Amino acid sequence: MKFIIFNWKSYLNFKESTSLAKFLAKMKFDKRFKPIVAPSNISLGHLNKTFKNLLFSAQNFDLYGKGGFTSYTSINDIKDQNIKFAIIGHSEVRQYSGENDYIVSQKLKIALSSKITPIICVGEDLLTYKKNKTKSHIKKQLNIIFDKKLKYDEVLIAYEPLWAIGSGLVPTNDEVLKIADFIKLFLKDYTFKKLKILYGGSVNSDNLEMLSKIKNLDGFLVGSASIKKSFINNFKL
């Protein structure tokens, strides 16, 4: 079974999010896929309460929890609404909010202590890719994010090359496979109950079939294409 994370980012308002969630809730998904919807925080609680047959993820949360932290999203709010997943370290959060791997590591611990499955994003920029240093970059990220002294429950890691996001460009299947295998091999000495590797970066209807042929890949993190019914219908029974 492959995870399909529909990351709606800030593309949809509340009304549009509700309408698309209703479409998803009525759809019969192919049992080979496990869809998870990540709407905006404004819509998250309402959709999770309304559409019981769908799984939802938060797009992010803060480090601070309950207290005087205006505009932030506490992990307590996500937990209290029985949200099962949360995206951590997405490239856009790193870019616009200055989130780094040390923060991702802290958020990972917070998520696991709250019984929320983390979807952790790692990946390289275009210059790193061109210099053939993708593996060393991701190795550095994983070294900071994970701790060999800890035991982890289910963790999803999304490899999202920054240069592919929103560009229409994607690595070759062989490149994605090598990185997925590299991540699993690097983390073999860490303790996980479940470890899943996803790919994210300009996944759409045109390249989905090609990307789906990649062995040992456990699913996809999908951005702008995930708000399109034509893309969603690829997973219909």
Residue range 167-182, pLDDT digits in tens: 778 899 999 999 999 9
pLDDT of residue 126: 92
Mean pLDDT calculated for residue range 100-119: 97
DSSP secondary structure of 66-130 = SSS-TT---HHHHHHTT--EEEES-HHHHHHH---HHHHHHHHHHHHHTT-EEEEEE---HHHHH
Write phi, then psi, for 7 (nearest 5 degrees).
Answer: -90, 100
- Catalytic residue of the set 16, 46, 90, 137: 90
166, pLDDT greater than 80: no
CA distance 35 to 109: 24
Cβ atoms of residues 159 and 139 within 8 Å:
no
Top pLDDT among 155 and 170 is at: 155
B/e letters for 121-138, b = 16+ CB within 10 Å, e = fewer, are bbbbeeebbeeeebeebb
Separation of alpha carbons 158 and 219, rounded Å: 9
Active-site residue (options: 46, 160, 175, 209): 160
Query: Does pLDDT of 164 surpass 90?
Result: no
Percentage of the chain beyond pLDDT 70 is 100
Q: Which two tokens stand for residue 111?
A: 């998520």
Per-chain mean pLDDT for the chain: 95
User: Which run of H or E residues covers position 35?
Assistant: strand 33-38
Mean pLDDT of 101-121: 97
Q: Which tokens sit at 120?
A: 């952790």
Domain boundaries along the sequence of the chain: 2-235
- Cα 166 from Cα 32, distance rounded (Å): 26
Read off the pLDDT of residues 11-35 as tens digits, 9 standing for 90 and up. Answer: 999 999 999 999 999 999 999 999 9
Q: Give the mean pLDDT of 202-216.
A: 92
Q: Is the confidence at residue 9, as pLDDT, over 80?
A: yes
Q: Does residue 223 surpass a pLDDT of 80?
A: yes
pLDDT at 168: 79
Burial code (b: 16+ CB inside 10 Å, e: under 16) for 36-69 equals bbbbbeebbbebbeebeebbbbbbbbbeeeeeee
Instruction: With cut-offs at 50, 70 and 90, classify the pLDDT of residue 211.
Output: very high
CATH of 2-235 among 3.20.20.70, 3.90.1150.10, 3.40.50.2000, 1.10.287.3510: 3.20.20.70
What residue has token string 């019984």? 115
Q: What pLDDT does residue 167 have?
A: 79
Q: What percent of the chain has pLDDT over 90?
A: 93
Residue 90 bears catalytic tag? yes
Residue 165 binned pLDDT confidence (cut-offs 50, 70, 90): confident
Count the alpha carbons within 13 Å of 47 in the hemisphere toward its beta carbon: 31
In angstroms, rounded to a whole number, what is the distance separating the alpha carbons of residues 235 and 219? 12
